[in-house]
Structure 1
Amino acid sequence: MTVIENSAGRTGSRLGLILVACCTGQFMVVLDASIVNVALRPIQDSLGFAPSTLQWVINAYTVVFAGFLLLGGRLADLFGRRRVFAIGLALFTLASLVAGLAFDPATLLIARALQGLGGAVLAPATLTVLFTSFTDPAGKAKAFGTWSAVAAGGGAVGALLGGVVTEWLSWRWIFLVNGPIGVVLMVLVLTAVPESRNDQADRRIDTIGAVAVTGGLMAVVYGIVSANDDGWGAATTVVSLLAGVALLVFFVLNEAKFARQPLVPLSIFRNRSVSAANIVSFTTSAALVGVLFLFTLLMQFVYGYDSLTTGLAYLPLSLAIVVVARGVAPRLITKLGPKPVLVAGSVLSLAGLLWLSVISGDGGFVGDLLGPSVLFGAGQGLVSATVTMAGTAKVPYTQAGLVSGLLNASRQVGGALWLGIMAAVVASFAHSLVPGADIAGYHRAFLIAAVFPVIGILAGLAVPAVSPEALAAAKNSWSAKKSAQSAEGDAATT
């Protein structure tokens, strides 16, 4: 039996508070992966980072976050989604305060790793709480659209907020601001979010599987980010990648043959919705990260923008993602179902990247980047708002945290892997990435990135169609099931 506490009196305003809590938590997690970029120079000057270790202000967060996502999703299912949400938020908030008060490089890097751990616990919980709280198809589509807009737009907004905070206050405030926000959010979580868990699940953790997948993901991401400095043929890079792949292969064998309570039951991937949605999540994140990376280079090296102006130039892309994911996508999903919206989003993303691959380079932001920014952002908004519904459409809510963790892991690993590869691609034609040089290198990079929405289109076509009638039937099934559970809960307490 799945126990859901305090569900009987849930009103529209209560659901609104749940949505605010989940989106705020996700925004904090996504923002801290990107907001630091524009503050690296002030951090280096303040704490005395060596150039070779400065990148780990970003990577310490990314590597740990990617490594622990699957475990975080499983914990939410087994031990209570609100409880795990609160624990992840508390760890993330405390680590942010330590990072803001750091007095040397080691302290900051440890704090950033702890932020990543807190984020890995927090992020899957935000999605699974939405999944178990919203049963109405239209409401669920709108909630997922809002959450997805925050997840997709947070990375782009981070550049703007990082520039503003660093310019007007101090780099320390990009971390310290999480303190008051985290306290207010904790109160909201404890008062508005109902507890839910799988009461009959075996709460033993697949420790071997957790160590293998966490170590494997961390080793692979570590190897890729190390390649940016040491090269792909360096011993550190090769050993890290081989160790990571070996651990991930062992993880699959362990889950298939040895684990009594698998961290990731491989049978979940027999669900075509889950498999296809994870591919789309991976490719969507890779395409977005690639565009953000190349946009930054274009605006700073070709157009000569400073950090603040670069952040402002991201606004059209960010607004397109948010407006489409929050306003347009939910209505399309409830009318057409997730599949056509998912495919249409990948098509728009592909069109935006193809447009970027032929820009002239002398038209400035308005002439070169504004149009494809809006087109690509609209496509990303459609995909990001739809992929969660596509992935969870036929999944029991007892596995909501598992699927949430998988989708988050696909998103994070896709972005991290492609960022490392993109950096190597850029380095191969660095002569075209200096002020006033030929833009042919950017054309090549955007064409390479266009491969991802093509894969996304193919994966989207593999998603089983879910009609509006099926969404309505799911609503009735969920409502009946929750009413029965509420009655059981009331009987158990009398």
Structure 2
Amino acid sequence: MSPSANHRAAALAVLCAMSLMIVLDSTIVAVAVPDIQRELGFSPAGVSWVVNAYLVAFAGLLLLAGRLGDLLGAWRVFLAGLTVFTLASLLCGLAPTAGWLVAGRFVQGAGGALAAAVVIGMIVRLFPSPGDQARAMGIYSFTQAGGAAAGFVAGGILTDAVGWPAIFLINVPIGIAVYLAGRRLLPREPGLGLTAGLDLPGALLITAGLSAGVYAIISSAALPGLLAVLLIAAFLLRQRYARRPLIALRVLTRPWLLMANAAVLLVFATGMGFQFLNALFVQRVMGYDALGTGLAFLPTPVVIGTVSLFLAPRLTARFGPRPMLLTGLALLFAGLLLLARMPASVSYLSDMLPPLIVMGLGVGVTVPAIIMLAMAGAAPADTGTISGFTNTAQQAGGALGLSVLAVVAANRTAGSPAAAALHDGYVEAFLVAAGFVLTAFLITAILLRNPPSAPAPLPRSAPEEEPANSTKP
């Protein structure tokens, strides 16, 4: 491996380390929620904001953070986000009251958004050739999936052994180490400059609109959903007439970008919903504790790691991301159908383990391929924006999957004998998740046929020469 390749690999490790911190945070906190509620005096409804405050800030700021990466330089935005995330983790770990913790989680979500929004774009620029990019995306997807599963185990161990503050405080030394490595290793590519398009009114509209949208999904409330639609519509109108738009409509009106990210949304709705529902199934139907649940999940990240690190990159480089995505979606569909066939008296080895392995195969193939397709044809000046857009689709998909599948499971449970109702509710939710996957498969098969090629880089003055409200693809 050449020195330049070594440097790129080290930079990828920095990006994946931050991504791992963010993903671990999403699951490790879920395990500690009962202890947090008891010690800080949260109400049953209020404790959900330990998770929701983070999600609202994270999803709401992703598009703005992606654009800031284009304007200021992705490395600057990444390191700023890492700093905010690490400091907020310290505040959360020292929180003496419920309100302090919720505020800290909101700030932590903002920092996570700044860092996460530019990661995919930086990987694409670091590894422009298809083969290298496929391998890099495989490592990134393994980090995402493996971190999510490891969070259950780590959360149980830390909470039981040390107490819930440890799940936040552990981010501090890791964050400092990643920051120091990032300052030395990340490529310092210059941004376009703030004059190229920092539209503050537009930024406020889209941040408020996305935050309201995620809140509407989490709370299943109609009024925030209507507010989100109005704010996002106002944002699009603002972008049409703004002299320096936050996001050029030529980006948002690309059919490929919209369809690919619709598939991203559905895939991550399935992934997050599967993870959440299966954890509840293992605990409530099979009777496992938190640590046992994490150990029961371990085969999935092992399979994901094997596939995404060794098999998927070679196959993607040979056949392209679209055939691999179709294959991965077919495996996900099969795995969900197997989960839906589980009997009420479940045997882990014969009933649970085979679907977990099939799901691991599907995720290991699907996630790198779908991210590559979503970023296809991105101009260098737009990678931060499109990366933020794709991250937004991921987060919205995760929130949507959790909300919809939890409601489906709960509605089937109501009014039935406890054991049978729990089993039947989860089975029905797995079938709905299979419907998400089938829809993503049809989008890929019918609408994502010819990936666009990336345009040549534009000179730094180009944004000023082209009309700000241009909508041509």
Whether TM-score is above 0.5 comes out as yes
Answering whether residue 391 of structure 2 is matched by residue 408 of structure 1, we say yes
Residue 266 of structure 2 contacts residue 436 of structure 2 at CA under 8 Å; is this kept in 1? yes
Q: Give the alignment of 1:112-261 within 5 angstroms.
A: 112-199=105-192, 202-227=195-220, 237-255=221-239, 257-261=240-244
The 3-state SS of whatever aligns with 1:429 is helix
Q: Give the alignment of 1:424-443 within 5 angstroms.
A: 424-431=407-414, 434-435=418-419, 439-443=423-427
Determine the C-alpha separation between the residues in 1 that align with 2:193 and 2:51: 40
Say which of 437, 444, 458 aligns to 2:428.
Answer: 444
Answering whether residue 263 of structure 2 is matched by residue 280 of structure 1, we say yes
Instruction: Provide the residue aligned with 1:296 in structure 2.
Output: 279
Cα 1:200–1:284, aligned 2, differ >3 Å: closer, same or farther? Answer: same
Residue 72 of structure 2 contacts residue 193 of structure 2 at CA under 8 Å; is this kept in 1? no
Determine the C-alpha separation between the residues in 1 that align with 2:112 and 2:418: 36
Question: Structure 1: which amino acid aligns with 2:225?
Answer: L
Determine the C-alpha separation between the residues in 1 that align with 2:35 and 2:276: 20
C-alpha RMSD of matched pairs (Å):
2.3
Determine the C-alpha separation between the residues in 2 that align with 1:55 and 1:434: 24
Answering whether residue 73 of structure 2 is matched by residue 80 of structure 1, we say yes
Residue 361 of structure 1 contacts residue 368 of structure 1 at CA under 8 Å; is this kept in 2? no
Instruction: Provide the residue aligned with 2:448 in structure 1.
Output: 463
Q: Give the alignment of 1:352-431 within 5 angstroms.
A: 352-431=335-414
Question: Structure 2: which amino acid aligns with 1:450?
Answer: A
Residue 273 of structure 1 contacts residue 394 of structure 1 at CA under 8 Å; is this kept in 2? no
Answering whether residue 322 of structure 2 is matched by residue 339 of structure 1, we say yes
Say which is worse superposed, 213-222 or 280-289, in terms of deviation: 213-222
Q: Which runs of 5+ in 2 are unaligned?
A: 461-473
Cα 1:120–1:394, aligned 2, differ >3 Å: closer, same or farther? Answer: same
Q: Which runs of 5+ in 1 are unaligned?
A: 1-8, 228-236, 486-494
Determine the C-alpha separation between the residues in 2 that align with 1:349 and 1:56: 31
The 3-state SS of whatever aligns with 1:93 is helix
Instruction: Provide the residue aligned with 1:6 in structure 2.
Output: none
| TM-score of the pair, normalised by structure 1 | 0.88
The 3-state SS of whatever aligns with 1:196 is coil
Determine the C-alpha separation between the residues in 2 that align with 1:243 and 1:274: 25
Residue 91 of structure 1 contacts residue 118 of structure 1 at CA under 8 Å; is this kept in 2? yes
1:340-381, CA deviations, whole angstroms, 9 ceiling, x for partnerless residues? 011111111111111111111323222221111111121112
Identity of aligned residues (%): 37
1:381-407, CA deviations, whole angstroms, 9 ceiling, x for partnerless residues? 211111121122211121111111011
Residue 338 of structure 1 contacts residue 465 of structure 1 at CA under 8 Å; is this kept in 2? no
- Give the count of matched residue pairs: 457
The 3-state SS of whatever aligns with 2:190 is strand
Residue 297 of structure 1 contacts residue 433 of structure 1 at CA under 8 Å; is this kept in 2? no
Give the superposition deviation at 1:120: 0.5
Residue 152 of structure 1 contacts residue 384 of structure 1 at CA under 8 Å; is this kept in 2? no
The 3-state SS of whatever aligns with 1:439 is helix
Give the superposition deviation at 1:42: 1.0
The 3-state SS of whatever aligns with 1:361 is coil
Cα 1:262–1:464, aligned 2, differ >3 Å: closer, same or farther? Answer: farther
Question: Structure 2: which amino acid aligns with 1:426?
Answer: A
Residue 281 of structure 1 contacts residue 410 of structure 1 at CA under 8 Å; is this kept in 2? yes
Instruction: Provide the residue aligned with 1:491 in structure 2.
Output: none
Question: Structure 1: which amino acid aligns with 2:79?
Answer: A
Give the superposition deviation at 1:272: 4.4
Determine the C-alpha separation between the residues in 2 that align with 1:34 and 1:174: 10
Instruction: Provide the residue aligned with 1:489 in structure 2.
Output: none
Determine the C-alpha separation between the residues in 2 that align with 1:99 and 1:196: 33
The 3-state SS of whatever aligns with 2:323 is helix
Determine the C-alpha separation between the residues in 1 that align with 2:39 and 2:157: 18
Residue 320 of structure 1 contacts residue 377 of structure 1 at CA under 8 Å; is this kept in 2? yes
Give the superposition deviation at 1:264: 2.5
Instruction: Provide the residue aligned with 1:492 in structure 2.
Output: none
Say which of 70, 79, 87 aligns to 1:94.
Answer: 87
Residue 413 of structure 2 contacts residue 424 of structure 2 at CA under 8 Å; is this kept in 1? no
Cα 1:105–1:200, aligned 2, differ >3 Å: closer, same or farther? Answer: closer
Determine the C-alpha separation between the residues in 2 that align with 1:10 and 1:396: 27
Residue 405 of structure 2 contacts residue 432 of structure 2 at CA under 8 Å; is this kept in 1? no
Question: Structure 1: which amino acid aligns with 2:8?
Answer: L
